[in-house]
A and B are shown apart, each in its own frame.
Chain A
Amino acid sequence: DQQVKQNSPSLSVQEGRISILNCDYTNSMFDYFLWYKKYPAEGPTFLISISSIKDKNEDGRFTVFLNKSAKHLSLHIVPSQPGDSAVYFCAASGGRGSYIPTFGRGTSLIVHP
């Protein structure tokens, strides 16, 4: 059973617009959430994270929002750029084995010029 779900396999956005990538989790023990970005033929790279004691974390064009009651987080990219086109993985960790993340299946973002 998936504990971290990214229900949209793909997302297409126009350059300059906002990209919103969503992630849901089921394990209430998760207390730390991360987003990774992956280009083809490369390893994933860490993008941004958020602790469960916060509901928002911002880093430049990237903002992650956490709604603990809904067990939902989202990554906002504003404005979107063609170079943002990649696969984005949501990950969560906490509880038993707390520093080992559980990954979602990823969302492929395409930003059109």
Chain B
Amino acid sequence: DAGITQSPRHKVTETGTPVTLRCHQTENHRYMYWYRQDPGHGLRLIHYSYGVKDTDKGEVSDGYSVSRSKTEDFLLTLESATSSQTSVYFCAIREPHRREQFFGPGTRLTVL
């Protein structure tokens, strides 16, 4: 298994509260990604990072921010959670010059 962990694995929160999800890798890979998975939508890219402090927006970035202050950690923040952000969130990493990604186990977030 690629060394990717996500925390927390499950979280229930209320509308309007801030939430931070953490992705941690032990592979020292430069490229990291945050996706959300929803029924009928597959996997949609939220944000990605191509190095420390280097991040960019994905397809569904509204309402989300990210930070990467260390190679091993990529944080996803919902500044003010909404019910539409109830989802399963996956982090992924990728080696340079390879196309396949390796995914973490996911975080199930419920916003009430």
Interface residues of A (CB under 8 A from B): 6, 32, 34, 36, 41-46, 49, 89, 91, 93, 99-101, 103-106
Q: Which 5 A-B pairs have the closest CB atoms?
A: A43-B103, A105-B42, A103-B43, A46-B100, A103-B42
Let me know if A89 and B42 touch, CB within 8 A.
yes
Q: How far does the alpha carbon of A58 sit from the alpha carbon of B72 in the complex, in Å?
A: 34
Per the bound structure, the CA–CA distance linking A42 and B99 in Å amounts to: 21
Q: Please, how many angstroms separate the alpha-carbon atoms of A41 and B108 in the complex?
A: 9
A99: B residues at CB distance < 8 A: 31, 94, 99
Query: Is B105 on the interface with A (CB-CB < 8 A)?
Result: yes
Interfacial chain A residues near B4, Cβ < 8 Å: 43
A49: chain B residues at CB < 8 Å are 99-100
**Nearest-Cβ distance from residue B1 to partner chain A, whole angstroms:** 9
Q: Are A89 and B43 in contact (CB under 8 A)?
A: yes
Residue in A32, A45, A100 whose beta carbon sits within 8 Å of that of B45 in the complex: A100
Q: How many residues of B contact A (CB 8 A)?
A: 22
Q: Is the CB of A45 within 8 A of B103?
A: yes
List, in ascending order, chain B residues with CB within 8 A of A41's CB.
Answer: 105-106
**Binary interface encoding of chain B residues 88-112 relative to chain A, with 1 for a CB under 8 A from any of its CBs, else 0:** 0010101000011111111000000
A43-B90, A43-B106, A100-B45 as given contacts; A105 in contact with B40, CB under 8 Å: yes
CB of B42 within 8 A of CB of A106, answer yes
Q: How far is the CA of A91 from the CA of B33 in the complex (A)?
A: 15
B22 in the interface, Cβ–Cβ < 8 Å?
Answer: no
**A70–chain B nearest beta-carbon distance, Å:** 21
Bound: A16/B22 CA distance, A: 41
Q: Tell whether, in the assembled complex, residue A44 and residue B103 are in contact, meaning their CB atoms are under 8 Å apart.
A: yes
- Is there an interface contact between B99 and A32, defined as CB atoms closer than 8 Å? yes
> Given A42-B105, A44-B90, A100-B48, does the pair A93, B99 have CB atoms closer than 8 Å?
yes
**Chain A residues within 8 Å of B94, by CB:** 99
Residue numbers in B under 8 Å from A89 (CB-CB): 42-43
Decide if A101 touches B101 in the complex (CB within 8 Å): yes
